[in-house]
Every structure is written in structure tokens, then in C-alpha cells.
Chains A and B, each alone.
Chain A
Amino acid sequence: MKASMTETSGFKTVAPSVKDSRATRRARRETREITLIVAAVVVLLAVGAINHRFVSFENIRFMVLNSVVLSLVALGQTWVIATKGIDLSVAPIMGLTAVVTGLLAQGSGLPLIGAFGIALVIGLVLGTINGLLVARLTIPPIIVTLGTYSIYSGLIFIYSNGTQVDQVPAAYAAFGNGRIAPWLPIPIPVLTLAIVLFLCWFALGYTLFGRAVLAIGNNAVAAYNAGVSVISTQVRVYMISGVLAALAGLVFVCYTGSATVTTGTGDHVELQSIAVALIGGTAIAGGRGNMIGTVLGGLFLSVILTALVFLHVPPIWYSAGEGAMILVTVTLGMRQSRAGKAS
């Protein structure tokens, strides 16, 4: 983040135009966050009234934990969408990292720190490839990541050759399941998410890099003319997305203790992460990103899906519930933002 700040610091020209609308944008962002929090609380209370175990500490802890992996991917996706892009390749990047680090840990006892290094390298390299294809060759992001989706998923098969991760060393399991301190029952993955969220929130809202991202999403030509280096910003955004997807893969393998060739792609993480980002108030048309909203969106999705189980809804309707939730949140959000614009 620091590097990007210093590098883009010459282009102050972009700041004023962003600053003007900052107040309105902040208002809009906060409405979405409040909406999501209120909605989540309403669901919690309503379902909790029917079955008090729904609001038990243990259940809430797992609802949060279950959203961590998806939220990490969705944070990266939020960066990309804010530049008016899209990243479908997050699913195989996540799966590849989970399989590679998991198999190395299982087979040759790779230490956890090494796994972080490998995840970082995988995310950086694959993300950079995406970014270069988008920015240098000016191929539309959806096409680039559709193509790399196929290629990266092939890498998973080539690397794993049909073996799967069944068990991870104790250090990994501790990272995936442990709590920060014995007296502080916050799971480590949740802490990880919180740190990543803070970094993303800060970088998007309070650094020149963040402003460059939003400026590109708003109007790439204007940003370019204003001196924002569109290409390097775009490449960085896909690098961030790749790294966060890879981190999500590592958290996944630590949390579940297993990974197969269908990790990520089989659960359609790419579509889910887009949905979560949009629920959170990020605009698919670019120029608007809401990191806190994304994480709240992931949480809300987890709460809804768990609520369906507590309400004894037949499992075949879970995905319909998810679809309906996306529609309601996003269309309501549209209404609000339009109303906000009008006033």
C-alpha cells in the first residue's frame, strides 16, 4: 500500500473531484451499512424468538466464522469492481492455493510461515497476469478472467494430480480454528479478516491509490487525463484480488482441514464473491467501493443461510433464498441511492 501511495502521490489533481462528492458518498455508504446491520439484527431477533439457540454465542461465532473465507475473496473483488472490472478467476486462485499449501503441509511439513509465502506468491503472480492482460492488452476484465479461470483451474489438476488434502498440521489447524487468547474468544480467522478489512478500508478511503481506483471506476478517461496511471493502478488492483483470494484459500485449508480440486470453483466462489460485494453496496458500474459493506454483506448472507436451517426450510430452497436476498438488498440499495441523489 505504501509503495502505491508514494508513486501516485504526484497526481493530486484527481483528489478535488473526489473530495467534492465525498460527503454524499459517505452518507450513501453509511446508509447501506446501517441497512445491512438493521436487517441482520431483525433476522437475528425474529429467528432467535422462534429458536433461542440461533442467538447463542456459539451459533453467532460460527455464523461469523463461516463468512470469513467468502468475505476475504469478496474484499478483493470489491477492489476490482470499484475499477469497473470483474475477477472470475478468484475461485481457481483460491482453490490452487488451498491445494498447493495443503499438500505441501501434508506431504513435506511445510511450516505455516512458508505457506503464507507460497500463498502470497501464487496470488501475486496469477493476479499480475490478470492485471497485465486487462491493462496492457486492453482485454475486457470479464474475458480475461474467464480465460484465466480455465487455465488456473487446469493448474490445480496438474499440481494435485488427483490427490487431495485430508489433514493439516497442528499449526495450520490452530491458525484456522484457534482463538486470539484463551480469555478472548475471537477466532484467529476473524481477526485476520478484521485486519484485512481495516487495510482495505483505509487504502480505499484514505490513500491516493484508493482515490485513483475510484477515479478509474468513475471515468477512466478523466482519470487518465488527470494523470492517474491507469495501467499500474489496474494491475495492482488485480494483484490485491489475487492475493486476497490466495489468502482465503489458505484460511480455508486451515479452517476445514481439507481441500480438493473443486475447492473454490465447485462452490462458485467467483459468483458468490461478486454477489457479496454488490450486497455490500459496491456498484458494478464502478467508482464506488464499500469495504465494510462487503464484510457486512458476507455476514448477512451467512446469517440468512443459517436462519433458513433454523426455520426448517427444505434445503432445496436455500439457493433461492440467497437469490431473493441478493435481489432485495441490491434493488433496495439502488432505490436508496437514487433517493439520496434526488434530495
Chain B
Amino acid sequence: MRNPKKAALLVAAMLGFSVGAHAANIDTSKRIHVAMVPKLIGLSVFKANEKGAIEAAKKLNINFLYTGPVTASAQGQVDVFNSLIARRFNVITTTSNNPTELAPALRRAMKMGIKVVSYDSDVAPDARDFFIQNTAYPEFGKALVESVAKYIKPDAKIAILSSTPDATIQNAWIGALKTYMAAHYPKMTIVTTQYGQSSPSQSLTAGLNILQANPDVTGIIAPDGAAEVGAAAAVQKLGLTGKVIVGGCSDPDSIRQYVKAGVIKESPLWDEVKEGELVMYVARLAYNNAIHKNSTFTAGDLGTFTAKDGVIIFSKPLIFNAQNIDQYHF
């Protein structure tokens, strides 16, 4: 038992050195238990986070566990948190189904001395130590608008296809994109907002209905993985490729065929794999008490990040288009 572990440690250490001197700054002497709890297990986007997290966990001497509920329910996540608390995990990282319901359980965890790092979709600020925001909301709002607005008339009519009416992060993005649109494309109007409930089939039906009921719509912004795929599929099925432009955000694997077909011109996201790595770096640093709510830190070869009131912005939007999409697989 012992020797392989030591060997693994040695390899990990060597890897750590091989990626650069930065990793050496992080104290990885004590092996810690870190859990990553997505909204639900079984979706590619979260799986991409896991992929990155596993890589980073090796370097950072982390015993990594990826676990979550089978339905996108807060109750399911809370049950998982409770079990992690009982199992004395050192750090819990999570992307929340909704910001309010998870808070009491996470506060309980913090009271027990467990560090909480949220990523992707935030929880209440007092229920976590750090939040890794995918991209700054105003920038992402801009990217979402530009993914469509560049390719249509400035006075075009736009539809929004989101996940659910109370989805936190989608509402934040929609707010940001409306602000940007009002400032830069004042003549553009949003004629309808529909919801696909994050379900591929309901998103497709909603997409078809939008296009049928609003024939003057020339652009659909769908800031949700299932919604963007549904909207793109609807455009393709109705033979409107090129006439209606779809934008939004989704992982590259699911939209690849639509980007290549020209239904989607650009689609902003961020590198989910690298985000998963950053989550592990922040988890390690938070456990070491090496970062504070307002500080700057280095996360290996990912570069330097700044925490502001506990919020760490991961990156600028990464925009997929027909040229670059084949470089990304997640």
C-alpha cells in the first residue's frame, strides 16, 4: 500500500515541478479530501469540469470525489452535502441548483470548518468562502449579444430561449445582455422570452414555437446548453439556416454540428476543463488558508487570479466559431 502511494506522490510532485515553478509555491504536504458537487451528475458540461479537476487534484495532493444528485434538485444536493459533512471532507466545491436553498447546509459545513468553494452558479455569499465566476457578467452579456447581433440587422427582432424563469445565472446573463443591447443596439427588440426547462425536447419545441409564432424573428439568444441546441435544431428543421441566427452558450461537443452547418456563427463559453482545474487550485489554497477574500494568487500554469470579496473571475469569454471549435472537446 505504502510504496505505490509514495511513488504516486513522487510522480505528482514531479508533475508539479514540470508544469512550472508556480505550483511549487503551494503547500501540498497534507493530503486533503475535496468533493465536487455539480447540479446533477450525467451532463457533459459538468463532466468537463471533472476532467480538469482530476488533473489538478493529482498535482495538488487532493483525494478527489465527484458526486451529485441524479436529478437537478436542491434537496438532492443538500443530502450530498450532509453526507460530505459527516464524512469530514476538507473542502466542498459546488455549482448550485439555486442560490437560496443550499445556503443553510453549506453554512453548517462552514461552521464545521469545511471550506466551501462555489463555481459556475453561485450560492448566497455568506454560505461560501469563494465563488469562481465563469466570466464577468457584463462581458458575457456583450458576448451573447454579439454572437447574434453582428450577423443580423441592427433593428432586428430577437427571441430569448432560457432554461427556467428563476434560473439565477441565466437571469443574470439576460439582465447583462439587455443592458448591453440597449446601449449598443438600441433598435433591436426582444419580442419573446420562452423557457426550455433545460430539457432538449422541450427546448426544441419551444424553439419551433418561437419561430412559428414570430416569423419576424431573425435571431435567437439561448443562454443555456439545452436551449441553444434546441433553438439551433429548430432553425435547421424549419430550413431557416442563414435566415435566423442562433447564439448562446453551450459546450462545444453539443453545438459542433450546428456551428459547422452555419446555424450558429459564434457561441461564447469558457474553458470548462481549465475551470475545473482552477476549482481545485482554489480548494487547495482555501484549505491552506493561503488566499483571502481580497487577494491575488497564482494557480499553477493557469496564471494569476484576483479574488475580490471572495469572487474570482475565471476568464474572458471563449468564443467558439467554425474555425476554432475543433480544438475543443468537452
Asked if A and B form a direct contact in the complex, defined as CB atoms under 8 angstroms apart, the reply is yes
**A interface residues, tally (CB under 8 Å):** 39
With A and B bound together, what is the CA distance between A259 and B204 in angstroms? 12
Residues in chain A near residue B205, CB distance under 8 A? 66, 305
With A and B bound together, what is the CA distance between A256 and B202 in angstroms? 10
With A and B bound together, what is the CA distance between A310 and B215 in angstroms? 11
Q: Is the CB of A162 within 8 A of B215?
A: no
- Asked if B70 is at the interface of the complex by the 8 Å CB criterion, the answer is yes
The verdict on A166 contacting B200 (CB below 8 Å), with A66-B208, A316-B165 known, is no
Residues in chain A near residue B237, CB distance under 8 A? 62, 177
Q: Is the CB of A162 within 8 A of B200?
A: no
Chain A's nearest CB lies how many Å from the CB of B51? 10
Chain B's nearest CB lies how many Å from the CB of A64? 12
- Asked if B283 is at the interface of the complex by the 8 Å CB criterion, the answer is no
Q: Is the CB of A257 within 8 A of B233?
A: yes
Residues in chain A near residue B75, CB distance under 8 A? none
Q: Which of A53, A160, A260 contacts B215 (CB 8 A)?
A: A53
Residues in chain A near residue B44, CB distance under 8 A? 162-164, 166
Q: Is the CB of A256 within 8 A of B201?
A: yes
Stretch at the interface among A22-30, A213-221, A261-269: A261-269
**B interface residues, tally (CB under 8 Å):** 41
Chain B's nearest CB lies how many Å from the CB of A63? 9
Chain A's nearest CB lies how many Å from the CB of B322? 15
- Asked if B22 is at the interface of the complex by the 8 Å CB criterion, the answer is no
Describe B's contact surface by its main secondary structure.
Answer: helix
Residues in chain B near residue A252, CB distance under 8 A? 201
The verdict on A51 contacting B229 (CB below 8 Å), with A162-B47, A266-B199 known, is no
- Asked if A185 is at the interface of the complex by the 8 Å CB criterion, the answer is no
Chain B's nearest CB lies how many Å from the CB of A195? 22
Residues in chain B near residue A160, CB distance under 8 A? 42
Q: Which of A157, A163, A256, A260 contacts B204 (CB 8 A)?
A: A256
Nearest A residue to B72 by beta-carbon distance? A262
Residues in chain B near residue A257, CB distance under 8 A? 233, 257
- Asked if A153 is at the interface of the complex by the 8 Å CB criterion, the answer is yes
Q: Is the CB of A263 within 8 A of B208?
A: no
- Asked if B43 is at the interface of the complex by the 8 Å CB criterion, the answer is yes
The verdict on A262 contacting B40 (CB below 8 Å), with A58-B212, A59-B212, A166-B253 known, is yes
With A and B bound together, what is the CA distance between A253 and B50 in angstroms? 26
- Asked if A337 is at the interface of the complex by the 8 Å CB criterion, the answer is no
Chain B's nearest CB lies how many Å from the CB of A268? 10
Nearest A residue to B254 by beta-carbon distance? A166
Q: Is the CB of B43 within 8 A of A261?
A: yes
- Asked if B115 is at the interface of the complex by the 8 Å CB criterion, the answer is no
Contact with A along B170-203 (1 / 0, CB 8 A): 0000000000000000000000111101111110
Contact with A along B200-241 (1 / 0, CB 8 A): 111011101110110100000000001001100100011000
Interface contacts beyond A166-B254, A305-B209: sample of 8 additional A-B pairs, CB < 8 Å, sorted by A: A54-B212, A69-B201, A258-B233, A260-B226, A266-B71, A267-B201, A309-B194, A316-B165
Chain A residues with CB under 8 Å of chain B are 51, 53-54, 56, 58-59, 62, 66, 69, 153-154, 156-157, 160, 162-164, 166-167, 177, 252, 256-263, 265-267, 305-306, 309-310, 312, 315-316
Chain B residues with CB under 8 Å of chain A are 40-44, 46-47, 50, 70-72, 165, 192-195, 197-202, 204-206, 208-210, 212-213, 215, 226, 229-230, 233, 237-238, 253-254, 256-257
14 intermolecular pairs with C-beta atoms under 8 Å apart: A53-B212, A54-B212, A59-B212, A62-B208, A62-B238, A66-B208, A166-B257, A256-B204, A259-B200, A261-B42, A263-B200, A266-B198, A309-B212, A315-B165
